[in-house]
Amino acid sequence: MREKIALVTGAAGGIGAAVVRTLAERGASVAAVDKDDDRLDEVAAKLAAEGLRVRAFPADVTTSAGAERMVADVEDVLGPLDQLVNGAGVLRLGKATGLTDADWAATFAVNANGVFFVSRAVINRMVPRRSGAVVTIASNAAGTARTDMAAYAASKAAATMFTKCLGLEVAQYGIRCNVVAPGSTETPMLTSMWQDDRGRSATLEGSPAAYRVGIPLGKLASPSDVADAVAFLLSDQASHITMHGLTVDGGATLGV
């Protein structure tokens, strides 16, 4: 990672913030991107105070123009990007037929459209340089049906296949595109799904009524667990890996 320049979306909290820290600790200069200006500034300021090379770039990834402008700003300030991590994501829960138009649109705007807009802006700059690595943080729900998560799962499935197709198209330029699919990870997104103090144990044990197994390893992932997987796929240690999906879920999807 030393001397690499990386862009991470969804950098203001949870997994995204952990990815920013991990890449920066391994020597990268990191452009931390998020729509939440205040939280993003806090994350970037804290890491910078520790001597890490992190700079905040507030941006909304749900618009093509916004994504293009942000990527251009990052390269103007930090230099040519070597790495991209699509980490921005939102969750809207609800029965498949009960989701509102707004729920569906908001979920896809960030989880799918955002991945497309930012990836396109970055890849179009990487191609002439004939190098680069992209990791999209999707979800194990992209390949396993979950009740009340139709919009989220569908958007993550879209992001997953977009990233793999992109990887196929740009392999000829030496650019690798991979996916990390986390399961239940100790973040505000997960805890927002818990309805009472049994949320943690219910997640670990599973729910037969919802056709959901628990977590065989008996623990939640930490954001750093996911960040380490992202860092591996970006690194030279993964130089012959592309179009791959690495699941980080403690066995919750039984290796399928």
Q: Provide the pLDDT for residue 46.
A: 97
Is residue 211 part of the annotated active site? The answer reads: no
pLDDT tens figures, 200-219: 877 888 889 888 899 999 99
Please tell me the distance from the alpha carbon of residue 30 to that of residue 53, in angstroms, as a whole number.
Answer: 6
Residue 112 and residue 62 in contact, taking contact as beta carbons nearer than 8 Å: no
Residue 54 and residue 44 in contact, taking contact as beta carbons nearer than 8 Å: yes
Using the predicted structure, report yes or no on whether residue 222 has a pLDDT greater than 80.
yes
Q: 175-182 and 206-207: which strand pairing?
A: unpaired
Mean pLDDT of the chain: 95
Q: How many CB atoms neighbour CB 100 within 10 A?
A: 11
| Angle separating helix axes 150-170 and 101-108, nearest 10 degrees | 30
Q: Provide the pLDDT for residue 205.
A: 87
Determine the average pLDDT of the residues in 161-181: 98
Determine the average pLDDT of the residues in 46-59: 98
Letter for the amino acid at 74?
V
Using the predicted structure, report yes or no on whether residue 192 has a pLDDT greater than 80.
no
Instruction: Give the active site residue among 152, 155, 163, 250.
Output: 152
DSSP string computed for 69-90: HHHHHHHHHH-S--EEEE----
Delineate the domains of the chain, giving CATH numbers in brackets.
5-187+222-247 (3.40.50.720)
pLDDT tens figures, 63-94: 999 999 999 999 999 999 999 999 999 999 99
pLDDT tens figures, 230-249: 999 999 999 999 999 999 99
DSSP summary character for residue 239: T
- Residue 22 has phi, psi (to 5 degrees) of -60, -45
Using the predicted structure, report yes or no on whether residue 53 has a pLDDT greater than 80.
yes
